[in-house]
Amino acid sequence: MALGLGVLRLPPAHFWSMSMSELNAAVEGHTGAAWAAAPISQHEFGALMGRYPDQSIEQET
């Protein structure tokens, strides 16, 4: 919010109606650099899934 409203000085209605892609493009236009992190690899994702598996509702009770 601080970036969109404070730095980019977007009107609140414009800020709240933007998609993340639009906000990203506005930030890149302002800074001249991409700020989004690179996606994780399939191996990294598999390791995270192993460490933090999803739980079903049956397991929680």
* pLDDT for the residue 56: 67
CA distance 47 to 41: 10
* pLDDT for the residue 11: 95
The stretches of the chain forming alpha helices (DSSP H) are 12-17, 20-31, 42-51, 57-60
- Give pTM, 2 decimals: 0.48
CA distance 51 to 23: 32
Structure tokens that stand for 45 in this block: 């994702």
* pLDDT for the residue 29: 85
Structure tokens that stand for 34 in this block: 């991409």
* pLDDT for the residue 3: 87
* pLDDT for the residue 14: 94
Instruction: Give the contacts of 48 (CB within 8 A, at least 6 positions apart).
Output: 40
- Domain-wise residue ranges, the chain: 2-53
Low-confidence ranges of the chain (pLDDT < 50): none
